[in-house]
Amino acid sequence: MKNNIFNVLQRLEKEYDVSITNEMKESATYGILAMRQTLNETVTMRTTRDGFKDTGWYPLSLKTMMDLCYTPLSNDLHEKLMENIEKDSQLFLSQGFLTEEHYEQSEIPTIDNPESLPRDERAHPKVSKSATRECPLT
């Protein structure tokens, strides 16, 4: 493996017409090998599976997702979101976004968290305003 990395560095050196000292190649080689070893030891099937479970993505758990929102949700708001989740999901799937007006019609309030970025900095202007909400569920 070390020789392969060293050979790639030599090929890149010629391709880009740059000079890389043997010391730099050695350092880069050991850095790449260290990163590879670290990833092999930390990014495992177990850590990936646990990450999906801990965030509510698999198995799907809307409660877990909502519990991870920056702003704690009241029981009433939680119930309101759950009442609307199927309708909101279908609307999102059909048009690709939800509007502030939609949330207002569903009586889901905007929650501004003082620890969040200002609303106009949370998402690219072309992204739906629903992306700026604290707890997007769809």
Residue pLDDT, tens place only, 12-21: 999 999 999 9
SS3 137: coil
Contact by Cβ (8 Å): 89, 102: no
110, pLDDT greater than 50: yes
46, pLDDT greater than 70: yes
Cα gap 44→65, rounded to integer Å: 23
Q: How confident is the model at residue 102 (pLDDT cuts 50, 70, 90)?
A: confident
Whether the model clears a pTM of 0.75, i.e. scores above it, the answer is no
Query: Where does the chain show beta strands of DSSP type E?
Result: none
Average pLDDT over residues 24-44: 93
Q: What is the pLDDT of residue 125?
A: 40
Give the torsion sign (CA, 35, 41, 44, 47): negative
Cα gap 120→118, rounded to integer Å: 6
In the chain, count of helices (H) and strands (E)? Answer: 6, 0
Q: What is the pLDDT of residue 133?
A: 43
Cα gap 129→98, rounded to integer Å: 7
pLDDT higher at 77 or 15: 15
Q: What is the pLDDT of residue 37?
A: 94
Q: How confident is the model at residue 36 (pLDDT cuts 50, 70, 90)?
A: very high
Q: Which residues lie across from 60 on neighbouring strands?
A: 57
